Amino acid sequence: MKGLNWLKRLLGIGFPCPFLLLTGLYCPGCGGTRAVRSLLRGDLRMSFQYHPLVLYAVLAFGFMLVWRPRDREKWERLFILFGAVIVVVNWLFKNYMLVYLRVDLLPLMK
C-alpha cells in the first residue's frame, strides 16, 4: 500500500467546487473525485451515489475492451450519449434533492 501514497494524496486533496461555492448548487461534475475514491476502495454503492458516471465509465470501457462490434463508432457514440444523459439527470436530481428536499447526497468522505 506504500506505493499508492502519492495516489491517496492526489485524490485526497479535496478542492472545493467553485460552482458550488458561488451558487450553492452542485455542478455537473460534483462528486466525481469522491466517486473515484470510493470505487478504488471497493465501495460501489457510494461510488454510484457520489457520481454514477464514474462507475458507468469503468463498465462501458471494460465492455468495449471485451466486445468488438463491427460498427464500433456507432456504439462509442451511444455510450458517450448515454454518459451525457447520466450527467444531466444526476445533476438535476442532486440539485432537486438539495434545494427542495434539503437532502445532501454528497456527504464528505471519512
pLDDT digits over 58-94, tens only? 999 998 888 887 888 898 899 999 999 999 999 999 9
Q: Which domain holds residue 54?
A: 23-100
pLDDT attached to residue 27: 93
Flag the least confident range among 9-13, 16-20, 82-86, 100-104: 9-13
Three cell numbers, residue 93: 436530481
Q: Is residue 105 part of a domain?
A: no
Q: Is residue 43 part of a domain?
A: yes
Query: Rounded CA gap, 51 and 90, in Å?
Result: 7
- Cβ partners under 8 Å of residue 86, min gap 6: 52, 53, 56
Please check whether residue 8 is in contact with residue 23, taking contact to mean a CB–CB distance below 8 angstroms.
Answer: no
Structural domains in the chain (count): 1
Q: Is residue 57 part of a domain?
A: yes
Q: Is residue 47 part of a domain?
A: yes
pLDDT attached to residue 107: 82
Q: Is residue 6 part of a domain?
A: no
